Amino acid sequence: MRLPILLFALILLLGSCIKDAPANPEADIESFDVNPNMLTGQTFIDQANRKILLYLTNEAYKDGITPSISLSKHATVTPASGQKITFNDNKEITYTVTAEQSSNKKTYTVQVVNVGDWHFEFEKWLQNSVDKYEYPVEDNLTSIWTSGNAGVALSGVPKEVLAYPTRSTTDGYLGTKAAEMVTIKGTALSSIVGIYLYAGSLFIGNFNSAVVLTEPLAATEFGAPYVGLPDRFTGYYKYTPGPAYQDEHKNIIPDKIDECAIYAVLFEGPERLNGTNINTSDRIIATAKLNDASAKADFTKFDIPFTYKAGRTPATNKNLMLAIVASSSKDGDHYKGAIGSRLVVDHLAVIPK
């Protein structure tokens, strides 16, 4: 008799455990799939700022799209997956995700990215609502540029604009603002994993926070669709290197002076390049790189022709992508540089052929 009673009690206990299992609190859009024939570049979900960035053909923008959406387990979304959305009326399109634990909701905004004439003045900036770092936007509030700030946020920096390596500044060449990048000291948390500095960076593309802890270089995804062929890369910059250059192990390298990095890369898409292959990929067609990366106390103009690889003609069936990258320490992606190095860029432009 004792055994059946124990079994009955065990069944009741298991049933109670199953019944009382907590509801899933996650409310994420995990994928947003669109017919590849309607895209000029890969869709990107910016989880940090809750944006879905779409790179659409003119026909897709005109006719609308029917995305297939995957969510966190047991979450629901409005509008529903498979429901057609259109962009003709200029209304903001949002998706609201409700977790199984229905008190938790997230709203994602859809943005169609069209770079247009490739002139950037860095006059408008927004602030991340959670981590409080800044990021530049276009006049229509579209996000074309991003930085490594989202990754730095994971290291425990204070939630304030000046705690991050990339932000706006009123110290610009023209207008009211420019983009400022500063190489900063790592945090107590980052030093545990051997990261002792963060370089300020700014680039066209996306920052994939989902892989930053496992593949830091792959987190920087470079490029946006480009129509035609570029001729020159122009802009204004000034640069002050920090006082002491250090390697990735925090060792000071005597007599070594930090340098900035400013360059543009044209490559075959639609897949983006990242920090592992932005300088080495066989998909690269042309580059325009600032060679004089030394100190410049005053704003200095650069006008760099694109150098096309010998014998490299863009394939007619390939989507072209263009990336622009700037950093306050050119080896900052490997955590080398000088704390205090400061780069300011303004009025960047890509001139077509």
Distance CA 230, CA 353 (A): 5
CATH topology of domain 21-114: Immunoglobulin-like (2.60.40)
- Containing 262, the helix (H) or strand (E) segment is strand 261-268
Per-residue pLDDT 10s for the chain (353 aa) are 333 434 344 444 444 444 455 667 888 999 999 998 888 878 888 887 888 989 888 888 889 999 999 999 999 999 999 999 998 766 789 999 999 877 889 999 998 887 668 999 999 999 999 999 999 998 878 889 999 999 999 999 999 999 999 999 999 999 999 999 999 999 999 999 999 999 999 999 999 888 888 899 999 999 998 888 999 999 999 999 999 999 999 999 999 999 999 999 999 988 899 999 999 999 999 999 999 999 999 999 999 999 999 887 776 556 889 999 999 999 999 999 999 999 999 999 999 98
Q: Which residues in 55-207 belong to E strands, given as ranges?
A: 68-71, 76-78, 93-98, 105-112, 119-120, 124-127, 134-137, 145-146, 166-169, 178-182, 184-185, 197-198, 201-207
Burial of 265 (0-12, 13-18, 19+ CB in 10 A): buried
pLDDT given at position 59: 87
CA–CA–CA angle 305, 309, 314 (5° rounding): 95
pLDDT given at position 348: 98
Domain 117-353 has CATH 2.60.120.890: yes
Strand partners, 300: 237
> pTM of the predicted model, to two decimals?
0.80
Break the chain into its structural domains and give their ranges: 21-114, 117-353
pLDDT given at position 30: 94
